[in-house]
Structure 1
């Protein structure tokens, strides 16, 4: 188990790092991939391909535009079937879809697991696995999230258990992911390498370490849902507040570029592989249109919040590149800018919020408890991961998708029939009656996501009409998680100063799973070292000419 590193009391002023990126990003004359010594992966969550095209064309993201001039822009990059943060990031760092990585959502279900309190694995199986902000020890017994580092350890009530031989063992997030990660591959195959990452949940993203539990040397423990001591709110209330959280990640990268750990408190090697996640754009997109969030039209014209968020992200990118240049690392660093997921719907006229009609239909049909007493919807404190959730109940996860783990798998066909009888948007309909909607089950689901009988894969996946969010929330007008076009079509720019003929756009369809093998090729490692790449036959990205045996 990795221990948390404490953040220093003050954040170094980012404005002091605002050095001009300038025109020195022009592409070099020859491609010498042996010159790549570092890879920096950045996820601007919510970044659509249309955002990239519009901001570069309108000169509202000059730093990203300069990177694109020395790189390749992929105009048809997509997530592999689901777009929640877990499968979205898993695609980037494992090269695999949920079928092999085993990550469907940060809140999911596994029929093979036991409750955290069942230390002998003698009770019922089937646990609602929640690896989010409540995975940190601050949330134990429903406690308040008062520390930026989540309290400095795992919440034992969030850690389910599994039987391994004669033993009943805890299942930490790094045990939960079913395949290895690029961090592990780099650590195991490049002597003297160093790895780092920073994300939005301090302890739920422990799975980036991979099954070894040791893939990331410097995993910054930052929790976006922690309480800001100044405002007494978390960092997701408004996008400008989220900028303050993302500033922690900007500073973490700058510290690492300067030969420090993420907190800036001790000397460490500059990471061979490092990166971070930004949440500002995602929060700006989710905000209601009435409050300045989202987009103004179907052409992705940004509203005021999104416009401000993109400016912030681009300025942050400029700070990071400037730091690389200041340390003479820019010429040896491959930079990848993309996203775990997009956000839906960009076209506000398509928004439908009829409430969670899918879960209600399942409950009223007795496929799930009619009173909502299933999984961790039923805890004594009312808070997730307080250790008192119910076992063996099945589960449904909804946002702009529906993932259904049935209480009784023998009811699958009956459930599908019920869903098909209620496809319209009229209550109690599930609003899945359009040409881009579908209900996936049986052999088709197994081929795409794995066999539900093995415990992890949902029995049924419902993709409603694009624009449908299974909520009645008055605070958000966009969501992600499913496979609607706006969820899955992402921005992707790969930049390297030594790339010959930079500034190109590739229109061929690619998947974000192709980022992982590309990173390994850039570091002259065999992509087949990634288990998901080997299992799914994932190719590296075209048009880069990275390493020997390229897929191009």
Structure 2
């Protein structure tokens, strides 16, 4: 590894001028003294990076709570950091591609993650251990990836049962050998955790997330990128309530508290469980689910937002207060261990939530899937993939093979049973764009249907097996559901689920910076590596997509 270099930061006026001239390209270098143009920063050596995702955090949420002094800990971080007001996800905003952007530097096109429940035409069923049957498997890497879910079992353990559910692991023919495809095999590019471990031999890495085994892909293709991957499952049954942790936001706080404690343990020189001594991680982090659950809750029951200006309802306001206090406890722990001055803290989100304006909400049911079924592009009675298992339980390994699949939330990802029908299927969809059944509610100026070369340029070639044949972005506010349990969703590219809060707090910055230029969350990953004085191009996705580090700072030469 190269010798350490100090970091410097541009004054606000200089930064604005450079951004205006150069967009989001690399910024000019500061003086060799290690102080910025306005002499308000003492360059510090970054030894640790703490990455935090408050799932659902819009840019407007962050700006409102800081401006209204309702998130004092985030406001304090902003005073020693750079806030990016134009941050967006790279095309899709489900948790998998959202987190992949942050830790691989790549979009779904390169990382290969479109959703935690998706489809791959090249894979064989979990039961097909010789890879001799049909190909085309409905890949499910969610709460059912833990062994508790085997044979449709109840999710009774917080750690998902302590192992993979073998019925959730498909197979692939690799070099003539039929091999299981675990989540870490499924991601197509390496992660920042792998780069840190490869190029900083003494470094330790850690992460905690919402699914105990589905998030194994964070380890990257090596399978060993994260030293301490906390196995926590949000959909497991809490014995104290006999329900999972996602039923109401106050219950989700209890789940998030496990992650907060894991971070506090790690700061204190222990592993995530607090039972063993361990070096403080060089790179570590977690996510919060409380805000996401509060946003989804029906407005009539206190969830969501009160108006189009992102005025939070009572649940959302309380969830932001909770996350802010939890982050404050992490900062306090860093200060107590004399780690704060050597730790960069990045706060952002995997995804937002849509629609925040309740008047735009449209819930007509899953008209997209119904239209495809009715026209025989999928099985007319819904018998495809994991919709048809021998036991009736999702992800028990007995789903149908080679059937195609549709994933819908506030987006539609379509893998056709017969890819040669793409043009016909698109014609059918375009003939039914209205919001009245059987229409798919994609007739507005912000809606679109992607297929063919336009889809391949953005998301990869469907012929390779992973990329959907068609992507439908309906009108903002549309949720392909009739559920009365939620009024917001994510997964697509609507404004409210793609425009996110992003704050980078760095040791030694004395004055807040704001960068309004558009950036993508993929730029977080190369920024983390540069903070640790590692080369961004060691990330495969950064090399392939040419992902830049975030603007606003640069290393001294």
TM-score of the superposition, structure 1-length normalised? 0.93
Give yes or no for the alignment of 1:484 onto 2:497: no
SS in 2 for 1:277: strand
Deviation sequence 1:353-376 (CA, Å, 0-9, x none)? 000000000000000001100000
Pairwise CA distance, 1:514 = 0.2
Question: 1:107, 1:32 → 2: CA distance?
Answer: 44
Q: Equivalent residue for 1:502?
A: 511
**Kept in 1: contact 2:43–2:507 (CA 8 A):** no
Q: Equivalent residue for 1:10?
A: none
Q: 2:533 aligns with which of 518, 524, 538?
A: 524
Deviation sequence 1:432-484 (CA, Å, 0-9, x none)? 00000000000000000000000000000000000000000000000000000
Q: Equivalent residue for 1:181?
A: 191
Q: Equivalent residue for 1:466?
A: 476
Give yes or no for the alignment of 1:139 onto 2:152: no
Question: 1:484, 1:263 → 2: CA distance?
Answer: 38
Question: 2:39, 2:307 → 1: CA distance?
Answer: 39
Q: Equivalent residue for 2:335?
A: 325
SS in 2 for 1:129: coil
Q: Equivalent residue for 1:17?
A: none
Pairwise CA distance, 1:191 = 1.9
Pairwise CA distance, 1:166 = 2.4
Give yes or no for the alignment of 1:210 onto 2:229: no
**Kept in 2: contact 1:72–1:544 (CA 8 A):** no
Question: 1:232, 1:382 → 2: CA distance?
Answer: 22
Q: Equivalent residue for 1:32?
A: 43
Q: Equivalent residue for 1:16?
A: none
Question: 1:259, 1:56 → 2: CA distance?
Answer: 31
Q: Equivalent residue for 1:150?
A: 160
CA RMSD after TM alignment: 1.0
**Kept in 1: contact 2:92–2:492 (CA 8 A):** yes
CA pair 313-417 structure 1, distance change in 2 beyond 3 A = same
Q: Equivalent residue for 2:298?
A: 288
SS in 1 for 2:504: strand
Pairwise CA distance, 1:28 = 9.6
Question: 2:140, 2:39 → 1: CA distance?
Answer: 47
Q: Equivalent residue for 1:511?
A: 520
Pairwise CA distance, 1:30 = 2.6
Deviation sequence 1:332-384 (CA, Å, 0-9, x none)? 00000000000000000000000000000000000000110000011122221
Q: 2:457 aligns with which of 447, 450, 453?
A: 447
Question: 2:392, 2:497 → 1: CA distance?
Answer: 30
Q: Equivalent residue for 1:20?
A: none
**Kept in 2: contact 1:194–1:269 (CA 8 A):** yes
Contiguous gaps of at least 5 residues in structure 1: 1-26
Deviation sequence 1:177-234 (CA, Å, 0-9, x none)? 0000000000000120000000000000000000000000000000000000100000
Deviation sequence 1:7-43 (CA, Å, 0-9, x none)? xxxxxxxxxxxxxxxxxxxx9943425x100000000
Deviation sequence 1:459-517 (CA, Å, 0-9, x none)? 00000000000000000000000000000000000001223x53111100000000000
Question: 2:289, 2:395 → 1: CA distance?
Answer: 23
**Kept in 1: contact 2:46–2:507 (CA 8 A):** no
Q: Equivalent residue for 1:427?
A: 437
Give yes or no for the alignment of 1:75 onto 2:85: yes
TM-score of the superposition, structure 2-length normalised? 0.92
How do 1:31-430 residues align onto structure 2 when only pairs under 5 Å count? Answer: 31-33=42-44, 35-430=45-440
Deviation sequence 1:132-151 (CA, Å, 0-9, x none)? 00000000000000000000
Q: Equivalent residue for 2:3?
A: none
Question: 1:381, 1:324 → 2: CA distance?
Answer: 49
**Kept in 2: contact 1:521–1:548 (CA 8 A):** no
Question: 2:40, 2:360 → 1: CA distance?
Answer: 47
Structure 1 runs (4+) deviating above 4 angstroms are: none
**Kept in 1: contact 2:348–2:501 (CA 8 A):** yes
Question: 1:31, 1:147 → 2: CA distance?
Answer: 48
**Kept in 1: contact 2:136–2:402 (CA 8 A):** yes
Question: 2:220, 2:140 → 1: CA distance?
Answer: 18
Question: 2:556, 2:108 → 1: CA distance?
Answer: 28
Pairwise CA distance, 1:548 = 5.6
Question: 2:316, 2:340 → 1: CA distance?
Answer: 29
CA pair 412-304 structure 1, distance change in 2 beyond 3 A = same
**Kept in 1: contact 2:291–2:320 (CA 8 A):** yes
Q: 2:548 aligns with which of 531, 539, 543?
A: 539
Question: 1:370, 1:166 → 2: CA distance?
Answer: 35
